[in-house]
């Protein structure tokens, strides 16, 4: 019994993945899409904020940094609950109509991963800043040129932060479940079922092979993205 269960589950998973079960593919694509949008949004907002925070010196900067650092570990269930209350039609942001939509999940995940992008951007800027500033000054560069050089040098760290943010978004369950609602209609255009929510649903229903198949895909996505980012970094930086 004991191992048979696991082996059967993995067998079923492989079969489903190999056969390209359309429902499975649909869910996987939605996961990447929703979390990808979240990562892009977080980058658009987070990178500029991180660059400013990393380059400037003002009162309260340390406090701001530690707030973002603290928010790195915010539990996704709490985030999901707060977002649900805000986005419900009776809530303050209800008029946006985001609850139980793909956009709602993207929005929530964007808020979740924003601190990751900001914090990592700040630290990668700080790590190259002093060296470059001194060097560039001795070479007679002006302020703007220095700024661009610093951002350029910390680019690989910034990209890494966005990748890490995407991985957190695609793997989280709390927001996807509470804001997304795990909606699935065959042939429907407004489904919100993603990998994590369907895994928990199939586990609850006892359909372990499906859950395992989806889990395999989720891990594959995370590994692939990480591998690509590693490759790009090597290429850019030019050493291992």
Partner 1 sequence: MKRLAIAIVTVLAILVLGVGYQYHIQSQHRVLTISTTTSLYDTGLLEEAIAPTFKEKYGIELHFIPKGTGAAIQDAKNGVSDAIMVHARSKELKFMEEGYGVNRKVFAYNFFVIVGPRDDPAGIKGLTPVDALKKIAQAGREGKAIWVSRDDGSGTNTKEIALWKMAGFDYSKIKNESWFVSTGTGMGATLNYANTKKAYTLSDTGTYLKFRKEGLIDLDALVDKGEELINVYAIILINPEKFDKDFEGAKLLVNWLTNEEGQRIIGEFGKNRFGKPLFYPIVDVLREKKEPYFSWIAKYGLIEDDGEVTECPEKFRYGKEMTFFEFEKQ
Torsion angle, alpha carbons of 141, 143, 148, 153, to 10: 70
Q: What are phi and psi of 122, to 5 degrees?
A: -60, -45
CB of 188 to partner 1, least distance (A): 5
Among 91, 129, 171, 226, binds partner 1 (CB under 8 A): 91
Which span sits near partner 1 by CB under 8 A: 15-23, 33-41, 52-60, 214-222?
Answer: 33-41
Q: Which is nearer to partner 1, 52 or 103 (CB)?
A: 103
Evaluate the CA torsion angle 25, 18, 173, 159 in order and state its sign. negative
Of residues 120, 85, 90, the one with CA closest to residue 104: 85
CB of 97 to partner 1, least distance (A): 7
- Please report, for the chain, how many H helices and E strands are present, in that order: 10, 0
Among 7, 44, 67, 78, binds partner 1 (CB under 8 A): 44
Q: Which is nearer to partner 1, 167 or 197 (CB)?
A: 197
**How many other C-beta atoms are found inside a 10 Å radius of the C-beta of residue 29?**
11
Contacts of partner 1 in 189-208 (CB under 8 A):
189-190, 203-206
Q: Is residue 92 close enough to count as binding partner 1 by CB under 8 A? A: no
Q: Which is nearer to partner 1, 14 or 203 (CB)?
A: 203
Q: If you search the block for the tokens 């900067």, which residue do you land on? A: 61
Q: What are phi and psi of 59, to 5 degrees?
A: -70, 135
Q: Which is nearer to partner 1, 65 or 106 (CB)?
A: 106
Phi-psi region of 160 (alpha: psi -120 to 50; beta: other; left: phi over 0): alpha
> For residues 94 and 90, what is the distance between their CA atoms, to the nearest angstrom?
6
Residue 59, Cβ density class (10 Å: 0-12 exposed, 13-18 middle, ≥19 buried): exposed
Q: Is residue 173 close enough to count as binding partner 1 by CB under 8 A? A: no
Q: Which is nearer to partner 1, 64 or 77 (CB)?
A: 77
Contact predicate 112/210, CB 8 Å: no
Q: Is residue 2 close enough to count as binding partner 1 by CB under 8 A? A: no
Q: Is residue 155 close enough to count as binding partner 1 by CB under 8 A? A: no
Q: Which is nearer to partner 1, 86 or 126 (CB)?
A: 86
Among 7, 67, 89, 237, binds partner 1 (CB under 8 A): 89
Q: Which is nearer to partner 1, 69 or 156 (CB)?
A: 156
> For residues 229 and 81, what is the distance between their CA atoms, to the nearest angstrom?
32
Among 11, 66, 188, 224, binds partner 1 (CB under 8 A): 188
Among 35, 83, 102, 211, binds partner 1 (CB under 8 A): 102
Interaction site with partner 1 (CB under 8 A): 37, 40-41, 44, 85, 88-91, 94, 97, 99-103, 181-190, 203-206
């Amino acid at each position: 019994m004991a191992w048979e269960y696991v082996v059967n589950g993995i067998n079923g998973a492989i079969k489903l993945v190999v056969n390209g079960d359309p429902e499975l593919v649909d869910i996987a694509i939605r996961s990447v899409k929703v979390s990808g949008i979240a990562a892009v949004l977080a980058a658009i907002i987070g990178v500029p904020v991180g660059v400013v925070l990393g380059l400037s010196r003002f009162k309260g900067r340390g406090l701001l940094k530690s707030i973002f650092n603290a928010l790195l570990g915010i539990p996704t269930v709490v985030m999901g609950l707060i977002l649900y209350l805000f986005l419900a039609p009776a809530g303050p942001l209800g008029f946006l109509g985001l609850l139980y939509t793909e956009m709602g999940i993207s929005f929530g995940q964007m808020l979740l991963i924003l601190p990751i992008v900001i914090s990592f951007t700040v630290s990668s800027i700080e790590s190259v800043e002093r060296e470059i500033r001194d060097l560039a000054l001795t070479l007679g560069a002006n302020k703007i040129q220095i700024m661009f050089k610093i951002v350029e040098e910390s680019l690989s760290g910034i990209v890494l932060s966005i990748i890490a943010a995407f991985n957190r978004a695609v793997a989280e369950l709390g927001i996807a479940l509470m804001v997304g609602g795990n909606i699935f209609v065959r042939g429907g255009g407004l489904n919100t079922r993603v990998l994590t929510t369907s895994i928990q649903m199939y586990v609850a229903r006892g359909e372990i092979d499906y859950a395992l198949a989806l889990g395999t895909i989720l891990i594959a996505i995370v590994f692939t993205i990480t591998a690509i980012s590693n490759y790009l970094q090597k290429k850019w930086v030019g050493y291992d």
